Structures are given as C-alpha cells and as structure tokens.
C-alpha cells in the first residue's frame, strides 16, 4: 500500500496502548462514560521499539526485518490529535505508516493492511537504549505511577 494514502487511524506502541492513559491524554481527568474509539491489535512492520534513556516510555525507529506490536485506534477527533501531539512532544514526529490490523485476539493470520499515523522517534538513536521496550513490563511495574493513585502530576489531565 502506498504511503501517500490518507491514514485511517492511529498506531500506538507504548504507553498509549493503555486505554487509561490514552483516555487521560485525550479527555483529561474526567473521561466520558462511553468512548467511541475502536481499538484493535496491530503490527507495524520494519520498525523496532526501544527504551528511551531515563524514561518509562519507548520510541520506534526503522529497522528492516523487525516489527512492533501495538494497537490501531479509530475515532480520534482533531482536538484529540492536538492533545496527542502535545503529549508526544518534540522528540517524536507523526508519520503516515502501513500497519497490519489483526483480529481481536491478535492472531496474525487475519488482518488487513491500512495506513495509520504513528509517532516516530526523531531525537537521535543516542537517546534510545539497545534493549526492547516491553508493554507487559510497563503495565506490571510502572502503569500505576501514570494512572493510579500514585500517578505523577506530569501525566494528569493534559
């Protein structure tokens, strides 16, 4: 699929895979009772996800032969995108990328390729660690600091 096609959604591969964090970023501290977002598992080919030096979150960079599992989200509005751009900051650039949307269970045998927006790390590889970032490790060890009672003020209600 050509990258000139209009994106149909967003691909998230790090902290924004958590619906609690995504909701806090786009809605603030009081998310609506019902969300109209559609979230599915997806894979971004030809990229790798690495830990950012001194941070809880990752960055993705091109890497032939690699792929990154994440989520494909449909239904974000313009005001949500502005908040996401602010949240991601200057170390990332929003780019149009091809992703493979998987079935609800994450099975790779099903799925279609679509264009999505993704935040790609542009602050230089020296800002990334060699090791792969793990969403499961983030949820287990750090998610509570982002959205729990002990949540950092930095991440509340942007």
Beta-strand ranges (E) seen in the chain are 9-12, 38-52, 58-74, 92-101, 112-121, 128-132
Q: Which fold has domain 9-155?
A: Hypothetical upf0131 protein ytfp (3.10.490)
8 Rama class: left (phi>0) / alpha (psi -120 to 50) / beta:
alpha
Tell me, what's the pLDDT at 6? Answer: 58
Domain ranges for the chain, please list them.
9-155
Question: What's the pLDDT tens digit per position in 107-131?
Answer: 555 678 999 999 999 999 999 999 9
Asked if residue 152 has pLDDT above 80, the reply is no
Higher-pLDDT residue of 68 and 107 is 68
What is the average pLDDT value for the chain, to the nearest integer?
87
Asked if residue 150 has pLDDT above 60, the reply is no
């Amino acid at each position: 699929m050509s990258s000139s096609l209009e994106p149909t959604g967003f691909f998230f591969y790090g902290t924004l895979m958590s619906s609690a964090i995504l909701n806090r970023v786009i809605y603030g501290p009081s998310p609506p009772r019902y969300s109209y977002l559609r979230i599915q598992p997806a894979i971004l080919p030809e990229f790798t996800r690495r830990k950012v030096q001194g941070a809880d979150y990752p960055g993705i960079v091109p890497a032939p032969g690699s792929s990154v599992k994440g989520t494909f989200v449909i239904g974000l509005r313009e005001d949500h995108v502005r908040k996401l751009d602010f949240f991601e900051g200057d170390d990332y650039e929003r780019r149009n990328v091809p992703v493979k949307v998987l079935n609800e269970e994450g099975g790779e045998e099903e799925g279609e390729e679509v264009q999505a927006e993704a935040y790609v790390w542009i602050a230089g590889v020296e800002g990334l660690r060699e090791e792969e970032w793990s969403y499961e490790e983030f949820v287990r060890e750090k998610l509570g600091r982002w959205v729990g009672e002990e949540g950092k003020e930095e991440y509340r209600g942007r």
